[in-house]
Amino acid sequence: MADPKKSPPLTRDSVIAAHYLIKQYIHYTPVLTNSTLTDLASTPQSTSDLADTPWAGQEPAKPKLRLWFKCENLQKVGAFKVRGAFHALIRLMSEGGWEAGGGRERGVITHSSGNHAQALALAARTMGIPAHIVMPTISTLSKIAATTGYGVKVVFSGSTSTEREAVVEEVVKETGARLVPPYDHPDIILGQGTLGIEFQEQVERMIAEGGEGQPKCSFALKGKVGRKKGLDAIIAPCGGGGMLSGTALSCEGTGIYVFGAEPEFEGADDCKRGIEQGRRIETVKTLTIADGLRTPVGAYPWSVIYERKLVRQMFSVTEDQIKKALKLVLERMKLVVEPSAVVGLATALFNEDFRRLVERDGGEEGWDLGIVFSGGNVSVEALGKMFETSVAKTERQEGLVGKDGERVAENVAG
């Protein structure tokens, strides 16, 4: 990797500079709104919804939210990761002596479950540099196929970050390739943060114009009289923390709050637990359906998130809540997103601690909340498997299938 000591400082100005470097290589992804999801987020949950949760028996929160979605699922390679990959590679190529010392021929290497793998593969191919990608054997087949499609060499490893890093060391010894890490490096963080700069600009413009080339957003002009012209807060998924810390840097000094969201399954909420314990948790082993969030928060992201307090608070959601949010996006927004992408939305819809915070701090005016859809790399087969149990259950409840699983003909005729 490029020497972190020579990286630009972790500041908002450095994020803006990173955007200037990479903007020719990335998509300026759209920001979308959805009235149905905004209405759901602003509607109190029912007491039955809270029955089997930590908030059972409590009065449901009554937040007022206007939701804005930054669609990085429509980014190149289907995820925000391409931002950090291009920025890190451009910075590495500009390092004194790298080219003359044979750096281009030896190439680069990384480890990733899929999205950063594809991102570095594309960036390396664009720049004419060979790349080696270490992927866990449990990576989804669609992400493996997409990565190999960029012409890189894929080497497989175990599922934990420790196992991945061990294989990386072996390949580095053999090839001399330079590491471009998936999240734990200043250049990666600054690159990922560029989505936050765009997000702020886009929402300000959409509110000012009443919609981006469309009829006026029904909720964009509601709310506070003399309201500030943009976002009140952004919530983003957190795995290794590169995007969350970069987004936090992009909001530093703007008055925009930044929150992180994680799955809670099998300890995947390591950043939340680390903040509660006052120390970074360095190992995570989880098989949450949000496969892009199975890694522990890196040291550099932790310094931004926790030590500098640029992320206000972390929240976690269940697997079932992730599935519910994913289903809503698929059916109501007609967008293909992966489970990792919707943990922020799941938090806004179902986490009563977050919803109470918005109710308290937003008051009668409410909040304009930015939600980052981090990626859309999920296969049709994976989506089908994810929902097959709940679909079968619904069909039985509605009388569409018998107890033996066969469909009831008279209910589907015509």
For 90-130, the pLDDT digits (tens) are: 999 888 776 767 788 888 999 887 788 899 999 999 999 99
Looking at residue 395, its pLDDT comes to 47
Tell me the longest C-alpha to C-alpha distance in the chain: 74
Looking at residue 389, its pLDDT comes to 64
Summarize the confidence of residues 263-288 as an average pLDDT. 94
pLDDT (tens digit per residue) in 203-218: 999 999 874 434 344 4
Looking at residue 160, its pLDDT comes to 74
Amino acid identity at 337? V
Residue of 14, 42, 113, 245 marked catalytic:
113
Cα–Cα distance between 325 and 247 in angstroms, integer?
22
Which residues lie across from 111 on neighbouring strands? 134
For 233, half-sphere exposure in the C-beta direction (CA atoms, 13 angstrom radius) is 25
Looking at residue 403, its pLDDT comes to 47
Looking at residue 304, its pLDDT comes to 98
Establish whether 112 is a catalytic residue.
no
Quickly tell me which residue has 């602003």 as its tokens: 42
Q: Are strands 65-71 and 178-179 parallel, antiparallel or unpaired?
A: unpaired
pLDDT above 70 (res 250): yes
pLDDT (tens digit per residue) in 369-411: 999 999 998 888 888 988 886 545 554 444 444 444 443 433 3
Looking at residue 224, its pLDDT comes to 44
| Residues belonging to the chain | 414
Residue of 64, 70, 76, 81 marked catalytic:
81
Establish whether 139 is a catalytic residue.
no
Cα 96 versus chain centre, distance? 33
Confidence of residue 1 (pLDDT cuts 50, 70, 90): low
Q: Domains plus CATH for the chain?
A: 4-79+188-381 (3.40.50.1100), 81-185 (3.40.50.1100)
